[in-house]
Amino acid sequence: MGKAEQSTLKEELLAKLVDELTLVNRKLSLLIELNENMLKMQEKFLHMSSEKTSFDRELKLAPDVMTLLSLPPALRKTAMVLLKLDKATAEDLARETKRLRPVESAYANQLVRMGYISKKREGREVYFYIESPMEIRK
Amino acid sequence: MRKKALTIHSSRGGTGKTVIATNLAAIYAVKGVNVALLDLDFRAPSLVDVFSKGISGPVKHWLNDFLDGRCRAEQALIDVSEAYGLRGKLLLGLANPAIEAIRNMMEKSRAWEVTAVKRLFSLRSMLFDAMDVDCCILDTSPGVQYTSVNAVVSSDIAVAVATLDSLDLKGLETMLAELYDAFAKRSVVLINKVFPETRVWSSDEQTDLIDKMEKTLKHPVIGIIPCYCDVLQAKRNSLLAVDKPYHPFLRDLEKVAEKLDGIKEIDREEHVLAE
């Protein structure tokens, strides 16, 4: 094979390579686009599911009397006292339930984790309270 | 007298809850005790009719309005003690009997019920601490419904009224175990409308029946009241404790009132046992 022939072959190969690379590039662009769309959809889905979670949480935040019945007796007592007191420290709860303060603190924190009650710090005191999900929704 | 809130409840309708609640309230008020009587039967309000002779003018605010946050507690209470010549105060919290109000109460959400039970607790505190009330009686709707369970939760003693009807007693057994005990409430049973022969029973015979009932229901029975036809047939706005103070039904109910006075809330040891 002569030098001229070799050069033509190289050029052809290079042109073929460029074509292949262009094709790969196009495919990659398509994949990137698809991926972006999927990410957008995923984001939309996550947003929708987080909205649903906050809706569930709102419902869960209402420890009505029927919900109280489904709680273990020890937690039920703490929640009942909190309905009565509106806002209470672990010590206030313990005074009502006649149980030890650390026990009440543990039960109240368990209720906080379950989403039934909330807590806030006021100075040195930590208060537990039941949020009225909507003062009067209906 | 130790301040207390009593819920008059039953598993089924027609046991005589309202007659018992109204006359119990009147018996206390006649004695000079300050009483608040609240109609929590929002599906079938009746106190507005029972006390129609003592209520002057149209009712401006109902208990519905208070629970809805549309008025203050004192606005939703009507003092009828003067109208009935009672020594103690008799404050009424009335349920609105208008169909629209009943429909509205039936459509309340779970979230509303949380606010409602909190408002009931605040009403109770206000009655006892600011309005000098000694005894608060809550007349509820029968069965397990939000308002009746809210009443049980916010009271100290649940008085379950039942007849000797087997279905009634079956429902009562379930309610005592799964509702009152679950909320660690002091609960007692009052058997009403028992066959009239019991009026002439000896005390031994009555004790036997009470023992039998207590064994079945596993809760104290504080009284057995015979069926009095004239009580059943009395006009809707007749308050027996005022109109016929010497009626034997009232003697029976006075004994019940005495027993209720002797009941203490569940004490610490029982609380611990309940867990």
Task: Name residues whose C-beta falls within 8 Å of residue B39's C-beta, 6 or more positions apart in sequence.
Answer: B45, B46, B47, B48, B63, B92, B93, B94, B95, B139
CA distance B155 to B179: 13
CA atoms within 13 A on the CB side of A27: 6
- Say which DSSP state B18 is in: H
Residue of B nearest to A83 (CA): B118
H or E stretch at B37: strand B35-40
Residue B270 reports pLDDT greater than 50: no
User: In this predicted model, what pLDDT tens digit does every residue of B209-243 receive, in sequence order?
Assistant: 899 999 989 999 999 898 887 777 777 777 888 88
The segment with the largest mean pLDDT, out of B71-85, B160-174, B200-214, is: B71-85
Q: Nearest to residue B198, comparing CAs of B230, B242, B163?
A: B163
CA distance B218 to B240: 32
CA distance B15 to B168: 9
User: In this predicted model, what pLDDT tens digit does every residue of B12-52 receive, in sequence order?
Assistant: 998 999 999 999 999 999 999 999 999 999 999 999 999 99
Q: Nearest to residue B102, comparing CAs of B61, B143, B42, B49?
A: B42
The pLDDT of residue B201 is: 76
Provide the strand spans (E) within A17-101.
87-88
- Say which DSSP state B140 is in: E
Give me the residue from A58, A68, A136 closest to B68, CB to CB.
A136
Give me the residue from B108, B121, B146 closest to A83, CB to CB.
B121
User: In this predicted model, what pLDDT tens digit does every residue of B84-127 receive, in sequence order?
Assistant: 999 999 999 999 999 999 999 999 988 899 899 999 999 999 99
B164 in Cβ contact with B12 (< 8 Å)? no
The ipTM (two decimal places) reads 0.79
CA distances from B116 to B120, B121, B137, B164, B264 (A): 6, 9, 17, 33, 26
Residues 56-75 of B with CB under 8 A from A: 68-69
Q: Which residue has the higher pLDDT, A70 or B61?
A: B61
pLDDT tier, A60 (very low <50, low <70, confident <90, very high otherwise): low
Q: Which residue has the higher pLDDT, B30 or B202?
A: B30
DSSP string over A86-118: SEE-HHHHHHHHTS-HHHHHHHHHHHHHHTS-E
Which CATH superfamily hosts domain B4-157+230-264? P-loop containing nucleotide triphosphate hydrolases (3.40.50.300)
Contact A137 B111 (CB under 8 A): yes
Task: Name residues whose C-beta falls within 8 Å of residue B218's C-beta, 6 or more positions apart in sequence.
Answer: B176, B177
Give me the residue from A73, A80, A134 closest to B275, CB to CB.
A73
How far does B252 lie from chain A, in Å, by closest CA? 33
Give me the residue from A80, A132, A138 closest to B114, CB to CB.
A132
- Does the global pTM surpass 0.95? no
Share above pLDDT 70 across residues of chain B, in percent, rounded to a whole number: 95
Q: Which CATH number fits domain A65-129: 3.40.80.10, 1.10.1060.10, 1.10.443.10, 1.10.10.10?
A: 1.10.10.10
CA distance B154 to B7: 9
Contact B110 A66 (CB under 8 A): yes
Residues 16-55 of B with CB under 8 A from A: none
Residue ranges per structural domain of chain A: 1-60, 65-129
Give me the residue from B68, B111, B149 closest to A65, CB to CB.
B149
Share above pLDDT 90 across residues of chain B, in percent, rounded to a whole number: 61
Find chain A residues with C-beta within 8 A of B149's C-beta: 65-66
Contact B118 A130 (CB under 8 A): yes
| CB-based contact, B182 to chain A, within 8 Å | yes
Sign of the C-alpha dihedral computed for residues A118, B119, B3 and B97 taken in this order: negative
- Say which DSSP state B86 is in: -
Contact B114 A77 (CB under 8 A): no
Find chain B residues with C-beta within 8 A of A138's C-beta: 107-109, 112
Contact A65 B184 (CB under 8 A): no
CA distance A87 to A120: 10
What is the pLDDT of chain B when averaged over all its residues?
Answer: 89
How far does B225 lie from chain A, in Å, by closest CA? 31
Find chain A residues with C-beta within 8 A of B184's C-beta: 73, 77
pLDDT tier, A50 (very low <50, low <70, confident <90, very high otherwise): low
How far does B119 lie from chain A, in Å, by closest CA? 9
Between A and B, how many CB-CB pairs are < 8 A? Answer: 78
Find chain B residues with C-beta within 8 A of A129's C-beta: none
User: In this predicted model, what pLDDT tens digit does every residue of A82-102 receive, in sequence order?
Assistant: 988 989 999 999 999 999 999
B159 in Cβ contact with B190 (< 8 Å)? yes
CA distance B52 to B54: 5
Residue B275 reports pLDDT greater than 50: no
pLDDT tier, A134 (very low <50, low <70, confident <90, very high otherwise): low
